[in-house]
Amino acid sequence: MVGSRISSRKKTFWGWFFIAIGAICLPMFVFAAVVSKLLPPSDNPVIAAVQNDR
C-alpha cells in the first residue's frame, strides 16, 4: 500500500511538472511566433532578433 502511494505521488508530481513547463513554454512561443511580429521595430538586439527570426 505504501509503495503504490509513493508511486502515485511521484506520478502526480511529474504530471504537474510537465503541465507547468508547458504553461511557461506556450506563451513564450506565441510571443516569438505571433506577437513580436506585430510590435514596432525595437532597438533591443534580443527582441530585434526575435522579430527578424534570427
Contact 51, 35 (CB under 8 A): no
As a whole number of angstroms, the distance between CA 46 and CA 54 comes to 9
What does the pLDDT read at residue 24?
A: 97
Q: Give the C-alpha separation, 41 to 6, whole Å.
A: 52
Q: Based on the structure, what is the number of domains in the chain?
A: 1
Cα-Cα-Cα-Cα dihedral sign, residues 43, 44, 47, 52 = positive
* Tens-digit pLDDT profile for residues 3-54: 556 688 899 999 999 999 999 999 999 988 888 888 898 898 988 888 887 6
Dig out the grid coordinates for 41 from the structure.
521595430
- Tell me, rounded to whole angstroms, the distance of Cα 1 from its chain centroid: 36
Domain range for residue 35? Answer: 2-51
Reported as a single tens digit per residue, the pLDDT across 26-38 is 999 998 888 888 8
